[in-house]
């Protein structure tokens, strides 16, 4: 899929070097087609890394996608330069009059804080409410999924005894749902979090259908009704070395942290991790874009 992004976005050169078809604004205006409008609300601290990961995932269908990055206006990012945010990101206030085919709300390193104590919680609530009428389908990742479950369904999160970090095996529960079309019975997914949403409350909610779960990591994937909201509790978008970088960062901070589960060969953190989750990750994003965005969205937004 050609992804339409801003011509000077740093991720553009990296993606082109990986042989991913990226289309800049100048070329896109010469094509007489209606691209899908996808907005990414990037709540992760190092935004350039997440930009690259998600743009890779969105490149795996033959559809053209026009990507808009949204930032939170009520929070100052300490790990991404203001010049990058000002140049490539827009605010909810400037985007709220637009409609989008799809919205991705990323995770955020705030899961140990109560939702209402997160400094940008009121703004995030406005965005999630706005998405009900202005977005065809919203894809929530990790803390973004926990936050949406709490906002839309009142489902709380619980603090885990220690950080859940590593690559975990998952079991497919409902094979005939389009979101998991092409999935194997068992598949691997990265997780990195300190909390878990209340599984009993999720299972009791009639609006939510659980599609995949792990014995060790809990519920991984679920959706509501026709896929208006999709909840993903892992990080399928992670690169090969993302968990490694997080592990080294936490160790350098002096945190009591376990080596990521089932990640390094022979649990040796000096060895290159095996990439065990990419095909299912690509499949998940392609299925979401095709069946819950492209097939559902009106031609005229």
Is 125 annotated as catalytic?
A: no
Is 237 annotated as catalytic?
A: yes
Residue tagged active-site, from 51, 235, 246, 280:
235
Name 105's bridge partners: 41, 140
Residues 107 and 69 sit within 8 Å (Cβ to Cβ) = no
Residue tagged active-site, from 39, 142, 205, 222:
142
DSSP string, 247-282: HHHHHHTT---PPPBTTSGGG-TTSPPP--SHHHHH
Residue tagged active-site, from 51, 57, 111, 237:
237
> CA-based Rg of the chain, rounded to a whole angstrom?
18
CA nearest to 188, candidates 257, 260, 244, 262: 262
CB-neighbour burial class of residue 14 (10 A; exposed 0-12, middle 13-18, buried 19+): middle
**Residue ranges in 10-169 assigned as alpha helix (H):** 10-17, 25-28, 47-57, 82-88, 92-95, 121-134, 143-153
Is 153 annotated as catalytic?
A: no
> Could you give the residue numbers annotated as active site?
142, 235, 237
């Amino acid at each position: 899929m050609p992804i339409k992004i801003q011509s000077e976005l740093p991720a553009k050169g990296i993606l082109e070097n990986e042989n991913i078809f990226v289309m800049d604004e100048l070329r896109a205006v010469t094509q007489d087609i209606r691209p899908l409008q996808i907005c990414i609300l990037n709540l992760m601290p190092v935004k350039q890394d997440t930009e690259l990961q998600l743009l890779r995932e969105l490149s795996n269908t033959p559809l053209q996608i026009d990507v808009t990055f949204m930032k939170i206006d009520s929070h100052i990012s300490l790990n991404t330069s203001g010049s990058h945010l000002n140049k490539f990101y827009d605010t909810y206030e400037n985007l709220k009059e637009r409609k989008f085919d799809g919205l991705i709300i990323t995770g955020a390193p705030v899961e140990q804080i109560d939702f209402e104590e997160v400094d940008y919680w009121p703004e995030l609530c406005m965005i999630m409410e706005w998405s009900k009428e202005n977005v065809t389908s919203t894809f929530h990742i990790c803390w973004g999924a926990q936050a949406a479950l709490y906002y839309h369904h009142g489902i709380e999160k619980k603090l885990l005894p220690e950080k859940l970090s590593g690559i975990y095996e998952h079991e497919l529960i409902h094979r005939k749902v389009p979101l998991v079309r092409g999935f194997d019975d068992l598949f691997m997914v990265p997780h990195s979090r300190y909390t878990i949403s209340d599984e009993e409350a999720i299972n009791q909610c009639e609006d939510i259908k659980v599609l995949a779960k792990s014995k060790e990591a809990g519920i991984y994937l679920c959706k509501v009704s026709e896929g208006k909201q999709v909840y993903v509790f892992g990080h399928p978008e992670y690169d090969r070395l993302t968990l490694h970088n997080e592990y080294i960062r936490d160790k350098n901070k002096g945190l009591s942290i376990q080596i990521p589960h089932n990640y390094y060969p022979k649990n040796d953190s000096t060895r290159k991790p095996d990439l065990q989750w990419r095909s299912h990750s690509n499949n998940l994003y392609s299925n979401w874009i095709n069946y819950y965005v492209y097939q559902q969205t009106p031609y005229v937004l």
